Amino acid sequence: MISPREGQLVTVAEDGSSLDGIVFHAQSLLKVVVAVPDAEHGALFKTVHSKQLTGRRDAGAHDDALRGLIRRAPSAGRGGPRNGPGGGGGRAGHTRSAVHRTTGR
């Protein structure tokens, strides 16, 4: 088991086979999102247990396609629209402030 970092080259072992991959996002100490090659789609993201990962040093044949997928994907660290400033508004029905109330003159 390794301590995964974003962008780290890894090998994913599952079902008796192994795939080269790149860590996209470490959700926790156990769940890791990894970009792996796929025969039908080129590359895709897969959530795996960190025990399935081993580090690798040499570049693989599919690393360029995996990096391209990671570049096109939105940032993994970004939260939803209510996660602080710059993340969009609050509730959709309250986009403007209230108008000024007159005093009846």
* pTM of structure: 0.68
DSSP assignment string, 13-29? EETTEEEEEEEEEE-SS
pLDDT tens digits, residue range 5-34? 899 999 999 888 899 999 999 988 889 999
Is 27 among the domain residues? yes
- The residue segments making up the domain with residue 45 are 9-72
Task: Tell me the two tokens of residue 99.
Answer: 């108008």
Is 77 among the domain residues? no
Task: Tell me the two tokens of residue 27.
Answer: 């959700």
Is 24 among the domain residues? yes
Output the pLDDT for position 88. Answer: 53
H/E segment holding residue 11: strand 9-14
Is 50 among the domain residues? yes
Output the pLDDT for position 60. Answer: 83
Task: Find out whether 14 and 36 touch, Cβ atoms under 8 Å.
Answer: no
pLDDT tens digits, residue range 51-104? 999 999 988 888 898 998 999 988 766 555 545 555 555 556 666 777 888 887
Is 102 among the domain residues? no
